[in-house]
Amino acid sequence: MTARIIHVSVRESRMCVDRILLVARCLPGYVSAVRDCVLLSQALGLGGFEHLLRHYERLRMASLEAVAVTDDAAGAVIDAGGMHAWLVAPAVADIGVDIARRCGRADLRVRGVEERRELATVCALMPRYGAAATYRSEDAGGATLLVTNASPPRTAAQWDPLLHHAFRHGFAVDEALWRSVYALSNSALAPDSVVSRRHAGPVILKDDGTLFGRVPQDDDFDPNMLRNVARTPQEHS
């Protein structure tokens, strides 16, 4: 049977990837940076969503302490300490741009990185900074990134051409794969309960079965929606 391809929007993709990264226990303040790498990976035809689905547990992180940066005349040697490329890519991009701004270019040699080829996402991040980069893998298992300065982006298309394309056309994804991504992302949502349902809405159902708060006079509602939590999927019945 032929796989059905659907086009997933940037918004949906961001939402689901963010949630999966939270589930993976990536640092909350670092999630959006890693998410951008996942989306760029998908746009570049690298691991993307499929890789995320299989290996999301490897994206757990508490810090970048394992990463060691040694500056040298050409740029820097970065030992990623065995971390996944998506986790170090934002930091590698920052360091490359920082050095290139001061020195005109930055020759970064990255070692000890898992899923090395995903470092190509660093090149895709560069237009945002007004920089450019080339990626070359090395026989020894590392990779080299050459970062140079470029014109600052003036339009959304220049800021991130891949993202701009995705906003217009979405990401083409096998529907079954996307359903799996979506299902996994839902594990970041809180299980529903009668208590939880008190945390929103115009009225609260108290333990004694009475309502707290004035019921909107223009509203008819089924009080069982507050007494019991439906187990059925959300769908118009």
Task: List binders of another protein among 205-224 (CB under 8 A).
Answer: 212-214, 216-222, 224
Minimum CB–partner distance for residue 165 and another protein (Å): 10
DSSP 59-109: G--S-STT-EEEE-SSEEEEE-TT-BHHHHHHHHHHHHHHHHHHHSEEEEE
Q: Which is nearer to another protein, 140 or 209 (CB)?
A: 209
Task: List binders of another protein among 140-199 (CB under 8 A).
Answer: 156, 159-160, 163, 167-170, 186, 188-192, 195-199
Q: Which is nearer to another protein, 139 or 219 (CB)?
A: 219
According to DSSP, the β-strands at 68-71 and 75-79 are antiparallel
Minimum CB–partner distance for residue 192 and another protein (Å): 4
Size of the site for another protein (CB under 8 A): 76
Segment contacting another protein (CB under 8 A): 43-51, 52-60, 112-120, 229-237? 229-237
Among 24, 31, 38, 143, binds another protein (CB under 8 A): 31
Q: Are 109 and 142 in contact (CB under 8 A)?
A: yes
CA distances from 99 to 113, 149, 152, 161, 170 (A): 21, 10, 16, 24, 34
Residues in CB range of 2: below 8 A, 6 or more apart: none
Minimum CB–partner distance for residue 33 and another protein (Å): 5
Is position 32 an interface residue for another protein (rule: CB under 8 A)? yes
Look at the block and give the residue holding tokens 């070692």: 111
The Cα 84–Cα 99 span in angstroms is: 23
Binding mask 65-104 for another protein (x = CB under 8 A): --x-x--------------------xx-xxx-xx--xx--
Tokens of 73: 């005349």
